[in-house]
Amino acid sequence: MKFFLDSAIVDEVKFALDIFDIDGITTNPRHVQVSGKPFLTVIQEIGDLVKGTDKTVSVEVNPHLTDFDEIMQEAKKLAALSPNFVVKLQCMEPTLKAIPALAKEGIRVNMTLVFSAAQALFAMRAGAYFVSPFIGWKESNAEEVESFVQEVVQIRDNYAYSTEVLVAAVRNGRQIVNAAVAGADIVTAGLAVYRESLEHPYTQMGIQRFASFWDQTQYE
């Protein structure tokens, strides 16, 4: 399974690349706003961090755009900034038309804000590079999410679509594991989620115990 970092804070991206060797980065307008930097500035800084690698950076097209021609124009502009960029499009009718049109120009699309298996099917059928089922938001709304991811993966496998399933809005280690068990290709989560998922109280207890035994034992 691939791990993507969901962030637009450059220092977080650097840390995650160094420690976790993350496979890619996903950004959204909220992350960019939190970074405190202009949109184009921060995405180019992140793009520079993965330059020369196959790690992708998902960058979102202006969410106000709903016209096909305007979406195409903005998507092309963003994709031209870095070969690592994958453009994020919201799940709606004009973007279904845009996905294959952009693919003809070698531009990859991450279909975002996917909340049903049917939406995912439309995106995969259109040729999306990534499809991003959001689970954290659904779970917060008391919706069941495990079968949701399983259905998306099963549909992809049934028809041998080339789309990678990128599980988004991941909030904890249990959701990471559930996505892995379901066969998802990628999860994207914040840095705190990865760090907390790596921790366990028994591990800390074991380290303390073994350190105590170590201190009571001759080294040579």
pLDDT per position as a tens digit, 19-68: 999 999 999 999 999 999 999 999 999 999 999 999 999 999 999 999 99
Over residues 95-105, the pLDDT tens digits come to 999 999 999 99
Whole-prediction pTM: 0.96
The 8 Å CB, 24+ separation contacts for 146-149 are 146/178, 146/182, 148/116, 148/117, 149/178, 149/179, 149/182, 149/184
Residue with tokens 């993965």: 50
Is 88 among the catalytic positions?
yes
Least trusted range by pLDDT, from 80-89, 135-144, 168-177:
135-144
Which entry of 14, 77, 88, 104 is annotated as an active-site residue? Answer: 88
**C-alpha distances in Å from residue 108, one per residue of 87, 133, 193, 203, 211:** 6, 17, 27, 41, 50
Check residue 47 and give its pLDDT.
98
What the chain holds in terms of domains, given with CATH numbers, is 2-215 (3.20.20.70)
Helix 191-198 and helix 173-182: axis angle, to 10°?
90
